[in-house]
Amino acid sequence: MSQVVVVDKPTNFIRNIIDKDLSQQLHNTIKTRFPPEPNGYLHIGHAKSICLNFGLAEDYDGKCNLRFDDTNPTKEDIEFVGSIKKDISWLGFGWAGESNFSSNYFAKFYAYAIELIEKGLAFVDFSSADEIKQLRGNLTESGKNSPYRDTSVEENLEHFKKMSSGEYKEGQCVLRAKINMSSSFMCMRDPAMYRIKFAHHHQTGDDWCIYPMYDFAHCLSDAIENITHSLCTLEFQDNRRLYDWLLEHIDEFNKPNRPHQYEFSRLNLAYTVMSKRKLQQLVEDDLVSGWDDPRMPTISGMRRRGYTPRSIRNFAERIGISKVDSMTEMSVLEASVRDDLNLIAPRTMAVIEPIKVIIENYMNAGVEKIQAPKHSQDETMGKREIHFSSELYIDKADFIETAPNKKWKRLAIGKEVRLRNSYVIKAERFDIDKNNEITTIYCSYDLATLGKNPSDGRRVNGVIHFVEATTAVNAQFNLYDRLFNIENPIKAENFAEVINPDSLVVKNGFVEPSMQNAVAEQAYQFEREGYFCRDNKSKELVFNKTIALRDTWSK
């Protein structure tokens, strides 16, 4: 008797199904699959499915296949195949054996189609696309049989062979299943199973000029691979009837332990879109810089922005698995990212909108070196070296001429603040340019306050960050925010009209000298500014803002 693997994870209806199937010995082990179509980059919604399918295989000591459902060569590209593999590996998952392609099974699909024709369960329809659509009916009207529905088995076999040998034109005919044109489920009204496409396929080249429809190939691929639990999102719920019908009518798969489809709710994330077609529109309309634009909800975009694999996996676990469609707040994803980065990101300082500070009473020659922690709550990360001298940069927002009230915790004339990990300074005066913009702030510092409070009991409340001017390194900062300014942009008629104009703001400032060698995609906390990572595509020193230190979007 098989032994059910006990896992320390929150249960859900899919785990309950698996537990029952294993306990009743319907299966000895489980085998899942992640079956993307290689027609775009994966997004955070796919990450939910990846974590589910690969995670279940890990937890139950089973296997998970990576299979590309590549049945439409006009929409697919080998670039997408590579990006999908990279995303899954980056998330920390590995697939069973080599990656598979539905196109590996094209010869078998053809044989199964022949079997259905020979059983009188499929026919070649020469009706036009418009005629088929009209005869199909709608949700309130039953469909009508095609005039080609009763063509003899022999004639259908001959027509299908001519389709496969290129004797008919694209759109001239399709192979349809013969099911029930009066079904209340539209997908059961004699759905198409094969169409003609004279297109080069990225795996099979020009070997085929007919290609199976997704619904036909998907379930058969699952069956060929001995998948036990076929997990998909709720929009495929009605298609389960067709999934089961096809496997029931193919002799090889008409058995109790054949794959079964189970549906769960897809991820709907506020202020973004979860559709490869819509994401492709953003790319093609030049509303973003590409599939890996850090504002995109693609896994590659999130990686470039500085999200970590663990944060995405933790997010998938937080939102859970159910059958209820709902909108997930962006703050839930961002909390997962923030919680992870707070633990792992070494601290450093960057001045994004610099303004110069002159310490007038600084008498030391050269630059002073000060030891500062890499992480204030994790001593094991060690120390880093920061610098101090008579010339510094602070952030423009950290100075105002007159403090608005006693609670002001930044720099103002006559007011003291502590520089992070350094001395207490007081602003004395400032210079302005012809546009009345402050150019330089002149300050004094208290030599006795390095790592100490003022000896005379003065209370200094504010702490601001800085970088020493002569050792500072120039850097560009890409300040990212949500791409859309409405919660549900999928409803927008024109994406260009709902793009958040502040979704990308570019600034030029300075970082500590050690950041010259910052690693691409490595998370850093720029103290008081947020979490950033070095851009993985730029040869220059460019940092992408991953997320703010605190949630600024919660309702």
Provide the annotated active-site residues: 37, 266, 276
Strands 399-400 and 504-511: unpaired
Contacts of 392 (CB under 8 A, 6+ apart): 356, 357, 359, 419, 466, 467, 468, 469
> Reduced to 3 states, what is the DSSP secondary structure of residue 250?
coil
Closest CA to 267 of 314, 326, 225, 307: 326
Contacts 24+ apart (CB under 8 A), 408-417: 408/462, 409/461, 409/462, 409/463, 410/462, 410/464, 411/441, 411/443, 411/462, 411/464, 415/462, 416/446, 416/458, 416/460, 416/462, 417/460, 417/462, 417/463, 417/464
Q: Alpha helices, DSSP H only, in 180-236?
A: 214-224
Strand partners of residue 474: 510
Two tokens, residue 276: 């490869």
- The span from the CA of 459 to the CA of 424, in Å, is 11
Give the Å distances, CA to CA, from 17 to 25, 57, 155, 239, 240: 12, 14, 44, 20, 17
Contacts of 226 (CB under 8 A, 6+ apart): 31, 259
